[in-house]
């Protein structure tokens, strides 16, 4: 089953103001989180997993970390969004359906339930359809709230949206560097063609911050 993290330009929104992002960060501090580090060949990315607000999805990611299932995997995709003055898009990485790494799919936690959103630094599950997310994830460079669940959408994909389960709290410069790495125009299928990194960036180790 293909791993999907699609986005329509008409559904995404520009990055929020700095003051709004600061307010969202302050709000996140009021909820229980667990920090994990992704040590990549381009530097470290620290993620606060929303274990209170997105317990199913955060626990799934944490299990991958604790069982070393992310160690040796890669960030393999850099999707650009070319509008406005601010850098936007996402990077995607994880197990790529490796049968020796993946765990069973998990129940979908839409943003209408968790109260989370695809703002800058949001970490979100890649999936084919609700209930299929397992070991692949994406990190937002800027706000893409069109990926949030929309109960009024006719398309079931956008009605369910994607599941945010954490936020980058350190290392956004590393995320941006990965996103800026060269892509191979011949790699990728369909609308993902030209978004695959020419040299994937290895996740050397993923670990819980003690």
Going from the C-alpha of 91 to that of each of 31, 80, 152, 176, 185, the distances in angstroms are 26, 9, 28, 9, 16
With cut-offs at 50, 70 and 90, classify the pLDDT of residue 192.
confident
Rounded distance between C-alpha atoms, residue 185 and residue 197, angstroms: 9
Going from the C-alpha of 51 to that of each of 58, 62, 101, 180, the distances in angstroms are 5, 9, 22, 30
The answer to whether the CB of 106 falls within 8 A of the CB of 57 is yes
Domains with residue ranges and CATH for the chain: 31-208 (2.40.100.10)
The answer to whether the CB of 57 falls within 8 A of the CB of 132 is no
With cut-offs at 50, 70 and 90, classify the pLDDT of residue 86.
low
Among 16-30, 76-90, 110-124, 180-194, the range scoring the smallest mean pLDDT is 16-30
**Host H or E run for residue 169:** strand 164-170
pLDDT score for 83: 57
Q: Above 60 in pLDDT, residue 11?
A: no
């Amino acid at each position: 089953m293909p791993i999907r993290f699609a986005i329509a330009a008409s559904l995404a929104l520009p990055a929020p103001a700095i003051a709004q992002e600061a307010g969202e960060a302050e709000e996140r501090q009021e909820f229980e989180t667990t920090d994990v580090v992704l040590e990549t060949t381009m530097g470290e990315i620290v993620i606060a997993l929303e274990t209170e607000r997105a317990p199913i999805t955060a626990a799934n990611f944490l299990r991958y970390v604790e069982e070393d299932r992310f160690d040796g995997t890669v960030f393999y995709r850099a999707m650009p969004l070319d509008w406005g003055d601010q850098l936007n898009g996402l990077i995607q990485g994880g197990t790529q359906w490796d049968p020796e790494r993946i765990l069973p799919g998990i129940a979908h936690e839409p943003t209408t339930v968790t109260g989370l959103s695809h703002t800058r630094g949001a970490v979100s599950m890649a999936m084919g359809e609700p209930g299929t997310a397992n070991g692949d994830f994406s990190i937002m460079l800027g706000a893409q709230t069109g990926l949030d669940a929309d109960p009024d959408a006719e398309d079931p994909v956008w009605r369910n949206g994607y599941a945010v389960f954490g936020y980058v709290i350190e290392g956004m410069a590393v995320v941006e560097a990965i996103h800026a790495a060269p892509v191979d125009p011949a790699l990728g299928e369909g609308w993902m063609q030209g978004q695959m990194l020419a040299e994937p960036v290895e996740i050397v180790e993923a670990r819980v911050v003690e």
